[in-house]
Amino acid sequence: MCNQRRLQNMRLFLCSHFSRVGSAVEEQIAGKKVLFIPTASIHEGYTGYVGSARKLFKKAGALLTETDISSEEFSKIKTLFDDADVIYFTGGNSFFLIDCLRKTGTDKLLKRQLGKGKLFIGESAGAIVCAPTISYIEKMDPIPKDYSQSDYAGLKLIDFYILPHYLTAPFKKVTAQIAEEFSHLDLCPINNAQAIIVEGSSKKVKPLLLKAANEP
């Protein structure tokens, strides 16, 4: 886990559906160089959320660069991380994403960048992997057959567990099941119109609940 000194500068924006809540960080991404990482989604059947997030970034005036950490050379990933002002992970499969992060060493690279105060935006799977472990999300995300890690440790950037898409279709039933089964964990359920902001160390979490105009 990255040390407490580095965590002091950490800024995270964690959500279920970035296109629904991204307006909350519009000023922080306008004119900024955003590294857009869709790795979690590359084997998913539905990826509409990737396109909607890309559209929102461009509308906000962000300067997008995309890369897939599952296939890109590490030296290139490092250069892109160094050059970026903001790092964004799309949704998709949490286990595939954490596997790619850990086996490529991009997990350590990410922590170093966050220690410099760069904004990290994690959507769905991109938020889930920030937790101490991601084993709780297996009912929602199937573990890939070629998963190469010996455990399900997350990035350990936070000391709680994001449960995205809470009680929203098509995840209404499964998120309710996860919330019940893992009630012993410090779960943080959020729906598609909510986000969590983390500033500094994980002990200084500041939740921000956002509602879209058409949300009850």
Quick one: pLDDT at residue 6?
A: 40
Residue 211 CB coordination number (10 Å)? 12
Quick one: pLDDT at residue 214?
A: 40
Looking at 165, 183, 201, 202, which residue is catalytic? Answer: 165
Quick one: pLDDT at residue 212?
A: 42
This prediction's pTM: 0.90
Looking at 19, 94, 124, 202, which residue is catalytic? Answer: 124
Quick one: pLDDT at residue 205?
A: 41
Residue type present at position 56: L
The answer to whether the CB of 73 falls within 8 A of the CB of 67 is no
Query: Angle 164-208-134 (CA atoms, 0-180°, nearest 5)?
Result: 30
Q: What is the pLDDT of residues 8-33, one digit of tens each?
A: 688 999 999 999 999 999 999 999 99
H helix runs in the chain, sequence order: 4-7, 18-21, 26-29, 48-59, 74-83, 94-104, 106-115, 125-128, 172-181
Stretches in the chain below the pLDDT threshold 70 = 1-8, 201-216
Lookup: tokens for 101: 């992060």
Quick one: pLDDT at residue 2?
A: 34
Q: What is the pLDDT of residues 68-88, one digit of tens each?
A: 999 999 999 999 999 999 999
Q: Where are the domains of the chain?
A: 4-208
> Could you confirm whether 124 is annotated as catalytic?
yes
CATH architecture of 4-208: 3-Layer(aba) Sandwich (3.40)
